[in-house]
């Protein structure tokens, strides 16, 4: 059997993801060859993500290689994968999700509750920055930080910051789980869309690879992240906008009768914040459906749930906030000129 060529970024975390995917596929009898691909986000580690320009700084080169047939399969951290669909490509499988929460890391403090005014907190995420500013009412000095997980932790240990917020999934995958002091929880701290999940992408017409990869899909995670990504796409936010979302799927028995059909309930928690954290809108949307529905029908329900949640946020008053966020984001990325 010809090995699947699996494309990945060369960072330690991306290689962990690629090695996990390879091992899972090979456990199913599918040989895999890992192909390392450098992306814009890997090359320019000093610039803030918002200043790197267009979406997909960690994925575009990998997706290009996939379209050109240089690789057969790509593995992405799903929160880095833009929601815009690319002709010829398909999100084929989403394995079971790791811990989706953000983690508080500090050598001085045990939790957010201990942080005094003026403390310096670092994060690589505009969403986390907005959440922290809202939680502290602007009392904390929240600063951006770039680099891989090891680099960011070293900056913390060198005393550049008093505390840092990182994704718990990345910390655990790289063996830094012991650095976590506590977790940031709902409802105030929703994770990034797709956080903790991996996305396995193939060419849409590559039936053989799709069939070999499909067994790695986890239904609950797939439906959850589809709802989250649909929300993001409807708000046209991209990964640079302060949007948090978390989908969860629960199953229940409709009656005590033997072989009675089961229902499933998909829940989506969603929030959008201003960059300064002073304004925020939040909602929870749910949809219950028959567990026996076909996969395509369930996925359509998940995507509609995301659209419905987004519309609720807009109806609450988020329309002007979304427009303002996009304007500020584009100015920071150098796509427009600042307004006088």
Is residue 182 pLDDT above 50, yes or no? yes
Output the pLDDT for position 252.
Answer: 82
Burial of 245 (0-12, 13-18, 19+ CB in 10 A): buried
For residues 73 and 198, give the distance between their C-alpha atoms in angstroms, rounded to a whole number.
Answer: 13
User: Does residue 29 lie in a domain region?
Assistant: yes
CATH at 271: 3.30.160.40
Output the pLDDT for position 306.
Answer: 98
For residues 327 and 231, membership in a common domain is answered with: yes
For 152-158, the CB contacts below 8 A with 24+ separation are 152/122, 152/124, 153/105, 153/179, 155/122, 156/105, 156/106, 156/107, 156/122, 157/107
For residues 192 and 180, give the distance between their C-alpha atoms in angstroms, rounded to a whole number.
Answer: 18
Bridge partners of residue 285, in order along the sequence: 268
For residues 160 and 301, membership in a common domain is answered with: no
User: Does residue 87 lie in a domain region?
Assistant: yes
What's this model's pTM, rounded to 2 decimal places?
Answer: 0.88
Each residue's pLDDT tens digit, 314-333: 999 998 888 887 787 777 66
For residues 75 and 149, membership in a common domain is answered with: no
Confidence of residue 213 (pLDDT cuts 50, 70, 90): very high
Q: Which of 72, 80, 206, 269 is catalytic?
A: 80
For residues 116 and 234, membership in a common domain is answered with: no
Output the pLDDT for position 271.
Answer: 96
User: Does residue 337 lie in a domain region?
Assistant: no
User: Does residue 338 lie in a domain region?
Assistant: no
Each residue's pLDDT tens digit, 240-274: 679 999 999 998 866 555 565 689 999 999 999 99
Output the pLDDT for position 45.
Answer: 43
Top-confidence residue, 145 or 339: 145
Top-confidence residue, 257 or 70: 70
Mean pLDDT, the chain, integer: 89
Tell me how many domains the chain contains: 3
Average pLDDT over residues 19-40: 93
DSSP H helices in 184-318:
207-213, 219-235, 295-313
Output the pLDDT for position 40.
Answer: 55
Is residue 337 pLDDT above 80, yes or no? no
Q: Check if the beta carbon of residue 21 is closer than 8 Å to that of residue 75.
A: yes
Average pLDDT over residues 187-209: 96
80: annotated active-site residue: yes
Output the pLDDT for position 43.
Answer: 43
Confidence of residue 300 (pLDDT cuts 50, 70, 90): very high
Output the pLDDT for position 153.
Answer: 97
Top-confidence residue, 304 or 322: 304
User: Does residue 340 lie in a domain region?
Assistant: no
Reduced to 3 states (helix: H, G, I; strand: E, B; else coil), residue 175 is coil
* Domain containing residue 150: 102-184
Q: Which of 184, 206, 231 delimits the end of a domain?
A: 184
Output the pLDDT for position 330.
Answer: 73
For residues 68 and 108, membership in a common domain is answered with: no
Is residue 336 pLDDT above 80, yes or no? no
Which region among 24-28, 33-37, 212-216, 329-333 has the lowest average model confidence (pLDDT)?
329-333
For residues 68 and 210, membership in a common domain is answered with: yes
Output the pLDDT for position 321.
Answer: 87
* Exposure letters 74-101 (e unless 16+ CB within 10 A, then b): bbbbbbbbbbeebeebbbbbbbebbbbb
């Amino acid at each position: 059997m010809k090995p699947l060529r699996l494309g990945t970024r060369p960072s330690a975390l991306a290689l962990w993801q690629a090695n996990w995917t390879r091992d899972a596929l090979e456990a199913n009898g599918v040989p895999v060859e890992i192909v390392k691909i450098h992306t814009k986000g890997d090359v320019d580690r000093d610039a803030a993500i918002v200043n790197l320009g267009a979406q997909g700084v960690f994925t575009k080169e990998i997706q290009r290689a996939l379209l050109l047939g240089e690789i057969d399969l790509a593995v992405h951290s799903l929160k880095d994968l833009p929601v815009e669909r690319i002709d010829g490509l398909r999100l084929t499988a989403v394995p079971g999700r790791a811990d989706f929460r953000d983690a508080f890391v500090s050598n001085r403090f045990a939790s957010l509750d201990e942080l005094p005014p003026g403390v310096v907190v670092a994060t690589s995420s505009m969403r986390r920055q907005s959440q922290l500013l809202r939680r502290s009412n602007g009392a904390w000095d929240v600063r951006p930080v770039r680099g891989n997980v090891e680099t960011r932790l070293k900056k913390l240990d060198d005393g550049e910051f008093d505390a840092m917020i990182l994704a718990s999934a990345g910390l655990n995958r790289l063996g830094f789980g012991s650095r976590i002091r506590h977790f940031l929880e709902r409802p105030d701290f929703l994770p990034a869309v797709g956080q903790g999940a991996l996305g396995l992408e193939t060419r849409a017409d590559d039936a053989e690879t799709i069939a070999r990869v499909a067994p790695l899909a986890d239904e609950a995670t797939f439906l959850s992240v589809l709802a989250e990504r649909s929300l993001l796409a409807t708000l046209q936010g991209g990964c640079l906008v302060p949007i948090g979302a978390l989908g969860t799927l629960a199953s229940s028995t409709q009656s005590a009768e033997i072989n009675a059909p089961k229902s499933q309930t998909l829940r989506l928690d969603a929030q959008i914040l201003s960059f300064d954290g002073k304004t925020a809108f939040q909602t929870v949307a749910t949809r219950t459906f028959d567990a026996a529905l076909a996969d395509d029908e369930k996925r359509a329900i998940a995507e509609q749930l995301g659209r419905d949640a987004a519309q609720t946020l807009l109806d609450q008053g988020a329309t002007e906030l979304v427009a303002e966020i996009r304007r500020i984001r584009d100015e920071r990325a150098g796509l427009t000129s600042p307004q006088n």
